[in-house]
Amino acid sequence: QVQLVESGGGLVQPGGSLRLSCAASGTIRSLNVMAWYRQAPGKQRVWVATITDSGSTAYTDPVKGRFTISRDSAENTVYLQMNSLTFEDTAVYYCKGVGAGLYWGQGTQVTVSS
């Protein structure tokens, strides 16, 4: 069983940066794919970025060039570095792990506001 806990959310001004963390209670080596999703108010949860156990990454178009996903297997943690944030990035951000099972974190709020 793997538990995922996100952190690093908060209030930031447009153009600012945040780094989200997703810490796994167990080893993330068993998780072949780690991903970030987000859910804006009144909208469905959508995919943001993915990183595989081999280090391959993929991003949804709205965040390409601004967000970077990375993983630290030694720390059992996945990160999402978010730069040049805009109002449209305001959402609850969720971490997802895929391995023998499918695991979700509880989410962390990111609010972009002036």
Please state, in angstroms and rounded to a whole number, the distance separating the CA atoms of residues 10 and 90. Answer: 10
The DSSP 8-state label assigned to residue 47 in this structure reads: E
Q: What is the pLDDT of residue 30?
A: 75
Q: Are 82 and 66 in contact (CB under 8 A)?
A: yes
Q: What is the pLDDT of residue 104?
A: 96
| pLDDT tens sequence for the chain (114 residues) | 789 999 999 999 999 999 999 998 866 667 889 999 999 999 999 999 999 989 999 999 999 999 999 998 878 899 999 999 999 999 999 999 998 889 999 999 999 999
Q: What is the pLDDT of residue 29?
A: 67
Please state, in angstroms and rounded to a whole number, the distance separating the CA atoms of residues 30 and 75. Answer: 14
Strand residues in the chain grouped as ranges (E): 4-7, 10-12, 18-24, 33-39, 45-52, 57-59, 67-72, 77-82, 91-98, 102-104, 108-112
Q: What are phi and psi of 10, to 5 degrees?
A: 165, -165
Q: What is the pLDDT of residue 2?
A: 85
CB atoms within 10 A of CB 28: 25
Q: What are phi and psi of 29, to 5 degrees?
A: -60, -25
Q: What is the pLDDT of residue 28?
A: 62
**Edge-to-edge strands, sheet with 18-24:** 4-7, 18-24, 77-82, 67-72
